[in-house]
């Protein structure tokens, strides 16, 4: 049965960020993820997790100036020092939350540029080694060009090849089903092929990026497929609710109830 993590950046926006931990726990989630925790003290984020019995599934390394359009540094040859600093910024949050995987963002760059490719490979290898020394996996995620035009890492096969070529045990693929469907389609076959290198999965409906119970994808089938493939990691709910978060959790209720029954 999938282990779902509520994405607190997108879900439960009816509450202030630090209050979303309680809201997620009350709704039946036992894990959370979010994009960035850096606007809040690390100890306070860790405290909210502990108070509500939640596991931190994932968050992103600092991306640079997000409001100005920056989406990470990994493929930017002249920003390697910023990448190194981003690791130092993230580690106190990793320690406070106990997170076991961090997402390294590639940045806006041309994947046809050999310098960008070399910079990305160097950054990924360095980050995986640095975080691995703290018992943390590094995950890289292809993102579709409709949502983030110009994002360097926009192809699942390229990400797979980087992971296999570097051959670092703590380097994994962040497989966002929403992004995969938009970029390539054929989600099930890609899950089957790439499962050995997948470290985290995320979901949303396509094309709207709302709750995963409607539109193009048959999510009950995909959740059962994850079980058939033996996936035991987290499934991050990185979607934008159509309205009130709780009102849109009908898709989640059967899984929450089944997990509650298994625990009792």
Tens-place pLDDT, residues 92-129: 999 999 999 999 999 999 999 999 999 999 999 999 99
261's CB contacts (< 8 A; 6+ apart) are: none
- Please report, for the chain, the start and end positions of each structural domain, with discontinuous segments joined by +: 3-263
Structure tokens at 84: 């190194």
Distance CA 140, CA 125 (A): 11
- Render pLDDT for 178-224 as a digit per residue (tens, 0 to 9): 999 999 999 999 999 999 999 999 999 999 999 998 799 999 999 99
d(CA 10, CA 169): 30
pTM (predicted TM-score): 0.96
Query: Does residue 263 sit in helix, strand or coil?
Result: helix
Tell me the Cα Rg of the chain: 18
Question: Could you list the active site residues?
Answer: 141, 238
92 burial (CB, 10 Å; 0-12 / 13-18 / 19+) is: middle
Hey, what are 256's tokens? 């929450």
What the block records as the tokens of 174 is 């962040």
Q: What's the rounded Cα separation, in Å, for the pair 2 and 24?
A: 16
pLDDT for the residue 239: 98
What pLDDT is recorded for position 260? 64
* Third-level CATH fold of 3-263: TIM Barrel (3.20.20)
| DSSP category for residue 25 | H
Residue 193 CA to residue 20 CA, distance in Å, equals: 35
Q: How much is the average pLDDT of 136-145? A: 98
What residues contact residue 53 under an 8 Å CB cut-off, 6+ apart? 25, 30
**3-state SS class at 143:** coil
Beta pairing partners, 58: 33
Tell me how far apart the alpha carbons of residues 182 and 171 are, in angstroms, rounded to a whole number: 24
Long-range contacts of range 65-71, CB-CB < 8 Å, 24 or more positions apart? 66/36, 69/108, 70/107, 70/108, 71/105, 71/106, 71/107, 71/108, 71/148, 71/151
């Amino acid at each position: 049965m999938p282990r779902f993590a509520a994405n607190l950046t997108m879900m439960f926006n009816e509450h202030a960020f630090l209050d979303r931990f309680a809201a997620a726990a009350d709704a039946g989630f036992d894990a959370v993820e979010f994009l960035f925790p850096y606007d809040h003290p690390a100890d306070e984020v860790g405290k909210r997790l502990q108070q509500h019995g939640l596991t931190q599934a994932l968050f992103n390394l600092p991306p640079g100036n997000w409001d100005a359009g920056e989406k990470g540094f990994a493929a930017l040859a002249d920003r390697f020092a910023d990448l190194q600093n981003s690791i130092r910024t993230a580690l106190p949050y990793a320690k406070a939350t106990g997170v076991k995987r961090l997402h390294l963002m590639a940045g806006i760059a041309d994947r046809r540029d050999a310098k960008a490719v070399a910079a990305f490979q160097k950054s990924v290898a360095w980050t995986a080694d640095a975080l691995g020394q703290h018992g943390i996996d590094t995950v890289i995620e292809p993102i579709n060009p409709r949502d983030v035009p110009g994002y360097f890492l926009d192809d699942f096969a390229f990400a797979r090849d980087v992971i296999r070529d570097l051959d670092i045990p703590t380097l994994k693929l962040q497989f966002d089903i929403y992004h995969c469907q938009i970029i390539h389609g054929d989600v099930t076959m890609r899950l089957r092929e790439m499962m050995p290198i997948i470290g985290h999965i995320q979901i949303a409906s396509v094309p709207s990026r709302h709750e995963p119970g409607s539109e193009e994808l048959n999510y009950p089938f995909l959740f059962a497929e994850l079980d058939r493939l033996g996936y035991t990691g987290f499934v991050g709910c990185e979607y934008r609710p159509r309205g009130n978060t709780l009102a849109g959790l009908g898709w989640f209720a059967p899984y929450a109830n089944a997990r509650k029954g298994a625990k009792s």
